[in-house]
Amino acid sequence: MRATATAQPNIALIKYWGKRDTELNLPAVGSISITLSELFTRMTVAFDTALPVDELLINDEKNDKLLPRLSHALDIAAGANRPRARITSECNFPIAAGLASSASSFAAIVVAASAAIGIDRPVGELANLAGRASGSAARSLYGGFVELENSGDRVVVRELLPADAWSLDVVVAVTATGPKPVGSTEAMESSRRTSPFYDRWVSDQPADLASARDAIASQDFAALAAIAEHNCLKMHSVMWSSRPPIVYWNDATLACLQTIRELQSDGIDVFFTIDAGPQVKAVCDKAATATVEAALRETDGVQDILHSGLGAGARLE
């Protein structure tokens, strides 16, 4: 009745933004991500028939704000008639600041809850259950480069390239640590309803996925950089053109993009991506990590730097 799982966040290079089914939480577009190695969420689920309600501790502190979504994830993994649970979570990076903490949390909780309730599920099914809790979490079941494809009423998630096949790092420039003003679930629904660019975003996505898939297969850094930056800026254009506008960036976000442009013009293999938050993720060749990290650290408004290589999918402890 008790199990612990660890999952790493993932960073999308070709983004998931928009849902085609809010009930089943099915994405409107496929996506491609990289799973990180250094950042983690470790989640213990202990079902206890004596408990009247679910309980959640994150880094030793009681947290009622995130509890409803995690309880819902337990219902998805163990059925609504499950016993109540004590959930204990440990996370080594800021929560709810656009660092994909939800992906690692929901991947970990689905793996831990399935084991705790005694169901042995194949990884593809765990990915579907995690995806119902949070779309991006489906990708954290796998390591390295991961593609999520829409397939009927399911998603199909697969590894495109293992973590150790291409020596890339991600340097995260943290430009704000508070929670984001609007969560991605609500924001992407608003984009679907109100952005004049939304339909074009959805219809162009297969071409971006194909370009990224080719770049990954041939380990062509320049091609991956070009398509990932384009796809990221297109997603943010959809956000900016929503009503009311969804703007996650701050001054330091833009300053980091400028730093990355300068590094690129010096011939450094680096590109940026930004999710539903103000942090800038610089993806670079491992040989350039120290240079990229130093340049971002000196950029105005950068509060902290995290860096990580590529890592493995969610697993039981």
Residues that bind ligand DP6 (CB under 6 A): 12, 15-17, 25, 31, 102, 134-136, 184-185, 275-276
Give yes or no for a contact between 214 and 137, defined as CB atoms under 8 angstroms apart: no
Nearest Cα residue to 105 out of 74, 147, 60, 144: 74
- Of 4 and 231, CB closest to ligand DP6: 231
Q: What's the closest the beta carbon of residue 27 comes to ligand DP6, in angstroms?
A: 7
Q: How far is the CB of 15 from ligand DP6 (least distance, A)?
A: 4
SS3 306: strand
CB nearer ligand DP6, residue 6 or residue 102: 102
CA neighbours closer than 13 Å in the CB half-sphere of residue 253: 17
Q: Shortest Cβ distance from residue 73 to ligand DP6 (Å)? A: 10
Choose between 126 and 263: whose C-beta lies nearer to ligand DP6: 126
Residue type, 11: I
CA–CA dist 91, 36 (Å, integer) = 14
DSSP string across 187-233:
HHHHHHHH-TTHHHHHHHHHHHHHHHHHHHHTT-HHHHHHHHHHHHH
Nearer to ligand DP6, 15 or 192 (CB): 15
How far apart are CB 135 and ligand DP6 at their closest, in Å?
3
Minimum CB distance to ligand DP6, residue 201 (Å): 12
Cβ within 8 Å of residue 121, ≥6 positions away: 114, 129
Q: Which is nearer to ligand DP6, 135 or 311 (by Cβ)?
A: 135
